[in-house]
Amino acid sequence: MITLTSAQEQIVEDKLTTGQYASAEEVIDLALELLKFLDAESLAWLKQTQQKIRIGIEELDRKEGVDGAMVMEQMLQRFQDA
């Protein structure tokens, strides 16, 4: 058994009131499916970000990095030119 807070119950009630959902179970099922999807998307993003970090570290190790001060200067110049 799951106990919902009053705020969660209100969300379910609001969704049922729209007529888009036939039951509280349908609302919760959809919410859980969305959570599952978001977790998968977050994991994919995390893996992609970790790969980009590894690539960046390898580039820095090979001295292929960009000077931070130069990047900041260029960004400031673009901002001032805008």
One-letter-per-residue 3-state SS of 36-80: HHHHHHHHHHHHHHHHHHHHHHHHHHCCCCCCHHHHHHHHHHHHH
3 state DSSP class of 22: coil
For the chain, the domains span 6-81
Whole-number average pLDDT of the chain: 95
Task: Give the pLDDT band of residue 49 (cuts 50, 70, 90).
Answer: very high
Give the confidence band of 8 by pLDDT, cuts at 50, 70, 90. very high
Q: What is the pTM of this model?
A: 0.60
In this structure, what token pair is assigned to residue 73? 């200067």
On whether the CB atoms of residues 27 and 15 are closer than 8 A, the answer is yes
| Cβ–Cβ < 8 Å for 57, 49 | no
